[in-house]
Amino acid sequence: MKRLLDWKRLTRLGPFHWEDVAPYRAARVALGVALPLTTGLLTGHLAYGAYAALGAMPAGFASFQGETRTRLAAVALASIGMAVSTFVGATAAFGAPWLLVPIVALWGYVTGLSECLGQRFSVAILQWSIALLIAVGLPATPAQAGLCAVLVLAGGALQAGLVAAAWTLRPGARERAMLAASYQSLAAYAAKVAQGALGPPPPTAFPAGSALEDPNPLLPAALRFCLVDLLEQAERIRASLAALEAHAADDSPANKQSLRSLMHDAAAVLDLAASALSGTTARRIAAVRDLNARTATLAIASDAPWRWAGEALLGQLRAAGRILAYLETPPTRTLADRVHATAPPPLAAGTFAVGLGLLRANVTTRTETGRHAIRLAAVVALAEFLALAAGLYESRWVALTIFFVLKPDYISTLVRGVHRALGTIAGGALGAAAVLVAHHAAGPLVASAAVLIAFAYALFDANYLLFSVFLTAFIVIMLALFGVAAVPTAEARILNTALGAAMALGAYLAWPTWEGMAAQEKFARLVETHAFYVSALLHALAHPQSRNASALRTLQAAARRARSDAEAAAARLAEEPAHPPLTPELALVLIAALAREARAALALHALVLAESADTVDRSAQAALDTFGEALGTTMRSLAQALRDLHAPPPVVALRPLYVALCNVPALGGGPLAAIADHLVNTTNTLDSILRERLPAPAQPWTPGDAGRASG
């Protein structure tokens, strides 16, 4: 078993993701912090400017989430919550310090529970607790606290204004860039298959998906429709590439060579599509011309066993070329058309209701998020109690560190705790040195604060240790602007941060939320979503008149998300002490088997998209329905076995149903036979893995149970 504390990992200062350094984003949000400070300095109200900057600083981190209107919503949510938190924290610290213990506990519970809402909302809500604890160090009467809350809200509003102002800079540029990245990822996948690498496409969603779901409100509707159409073609191309890759493992050497040649050509065309979405106008037009010229020369051999998938791919590439050509030469629109086209599409309905439902579902100790919320609330309340009882100087940094460090997963908590402590030591020294060099002069301190927060913003996604260094130095300078002594503040910050990091790590180890105790649900959900997805695809083949492309795309996206979650769970399992029976080794075996299932499902989806028949004869329809129902029932039974972590019950024999399917004249000689063979093989492999590696259920299965499972 792995040791509970991975000392080798703790001594690393990385990882360093230099490609994630974001200087332009940092410049925008740092401007939102620097403007209030500069305005306060020039008007002689530096304290007011500093409060507005303290509101703008956390709102800047919230502005990293979402795309356009969702980003604005995240900043608004963070700003309003920070204003309320500032008022509550300052007045409680002034009039009833011990009341802070239950207040901090409540804020901790809400912050922990917000993890179930996803990163965008959880980051925004985390800023509430940060604002609360910053305000605790600056006690004020209700009237003064109200003014401070208004200034904090103004700082957040400034960041929101900068987000909205960014919409006017080259509308459509981000959407084009994300779509170019999506086509580039397809090109990279096709190139790998051309070189002999096998496996389904990565489970991550296309970068353009979120950008086009929440586009720039100033983006003309005609342009947005073209970009959405290109994204749809990208989804279809991904399915066709997966179908071709499935053939690459089975074909003869001659067929493999011609298939690899096709994939090489497809990679080149997809590279041109990415180029046609970015760069200068001349470059885009040249790329479109080259793309259409190249696709015109591509053809599929008439005897290729994968001809159906190849023809579908070429049709999709030609369609993408036509859309790109239209994108560069759109028809002239009237002014009225342009005004009408700028109206943003409505936000997704039911988002608030869905969020409430998620929160309600996690108000329990049975979920990882529910346990994390209780743990976070308990440890920050204990930290606040001990800090008040001991009379620690700058005691709020104990609880504040816990908010930053304590996360639902083991490795993030472990590494963040050490990096936060090291970053605070270095940052405290850097901030104190900057104050001493500036001789407490306001002008140099404001300039230093602006530079330091810009570095912190730029490094936020690149390296947590370096981010902590610059953020700590910024906070030390900000407190110096409020008249707080720099050196004692830095010393207290270092001591209290180390204490908070130790408490966070201790709380996790005392009541851990191990991935090994919850990962089975993610694997079960993956098998379950594939069961629904494959069953729906087979039903669409059997009943083409009831085919619903949008519903199939939704099921595909759900299966992709489930696979991504399962792969992330497997990675987390590898970082934790083993928790049998779902060990890291079993997780890797399951991922490998389910990746083959995903490959077959994508090939089946490509076949559905390529089929143009309006009806299917009765014998083929009956065989498809029987096979689809049996496959879905079997996969759902395996999902339940994973959920219970017990060997599955006897399942339906799929191979005879596959043989019956192949014996239908309309189906046996076509591409469906090979895809169905893959589905049966991967499902039987998964069944075998679970039978061998999971313990038998407490109550042995009876023949009657097996019959019910088969039905």
First to last CA, the chain: 42
For residue 705, pLDDT beyond 50: no
User: Using 50, 70 and 90 to split pLDDT, how confident is the model at 476?
Assistant: confident
* Alpha carbon distance 15, 294 (integer Å): 41
> How far is the CA of 231 from the CAs of 209, 285, 388, 614, in angstroms?
7, 19, 56, 26
> How far is the CA of 347 from the CAs of 98, 118, 186, 215, 544, in angstroms?
42, 17, 29, 11, 32
- Token pair for 413: 């908590």
Contacts for 621-626: CB closer than 8 Å, 24+ residues apart: 621/542, 621/543, 623/660, 623/661, 623/664, 623/667, 624/538, 624/539, 624/541, 624/542, 624/661, 624/667, 625/538, 625/539, 625/542, 626/657, 626/660
Q: Is 100 exposed, middle or buried (0-12, 13-18, 19+ CB in 10 A)?
A: buried
Say which residues have a Cβ less than 8 Å from residue 626's Cβ, sequence separation at least 6.
657, 660
* Alpha carbon distance 557, 212 (integer Å): 15
SS (H, E, C) 394-438: CCHHHHHHHHHHCCCCHHHHHHHHHHHHHHHHHHHHHHHHHHHHH
Question: Where along the chain do the CATH 1.20.58 domains lie?
Answer: 515-710
The region of weakest confidence among 183-197, 249-263, 402-416 is 249-263
pLDDT tens digits along 201-254: 888 889 899 888 889 888 888 888 889 999 999 999 999 999 998 877 665 666
**161 φ/ψ sector (left φ>0, alpha ψ -120 to 50, else beta):** alpha
User: Using 50, 70 and 90 to split pLDDT, how confident is the model at 256?
Assistant: confident
The region of weakest confidence among 11-25, 105-119, 182-196, 277-291 is 11-25
515-710: CATH architecture: Up-down Bundle (1.20)
Say which residues have a Cβ less than 8 Å from residue 369's Cβ, sequence separation at least 6.
112, 113, 115, 116, 362, 408
* Alpha carbon distance 238, 201 (integer Å): 7
Q: How many CA atoms lie within 13 A of 147 on its CB side?
A: 10
């760069």: which residue's tokens? 279
The region of weakest confidence among 3-12, 280-289, 475-484 is 3-12
Query: At residue 93, what is the residue type?
Result: A
pLDDT tens digits along 566-587: 988 888 888 777 778 888 899 9
Is the CB of residue 508 less than 8 Å from the CB of residue 410?
A: yes
Average pLDDT of the chain is 86
What is the DSSP-derived secondary structure letter of residue 518? T
User: Using 50, 70 and 90 to split pLDDT, how confident is the model at 14?
Assistant: low
* Alpha carbon distance 184, 190 (integer Å): 10
Of 271 and 574, which is predicted with more confidence? Answer: 271
Per-residue model confidence (pLDDT) at position 270: 97
Is the CB of residue 57 less than 8 Å from the CB of residue 33?
A: yes
Q: Is 711 exposed, middle or buried (0-12, 13-18, 19+ CB in 10 A)?
A: exposed
Per-residue model confidence (pLDDT) at position 200: 85
User: Using 50, 70 and 90 to split pLDDT, how confident is the model at 332?
Assistant: very low
Per-residue model confidence (pLDDT) at position 35: 95
Per-residue model confidence (pLDDT) at position 700: 54
Segments in 298-346 forming alpha helices (H)? 307-328, 335-341
- Token pair for 558: 């759900």
**ω into 15 cis (within 30 of 0):** yes
Is the CB of residue 21 less than 8 Å from the CB of residue 459?
A: yes
* Alpha carbon distance 249, 308 (integer Å): 17
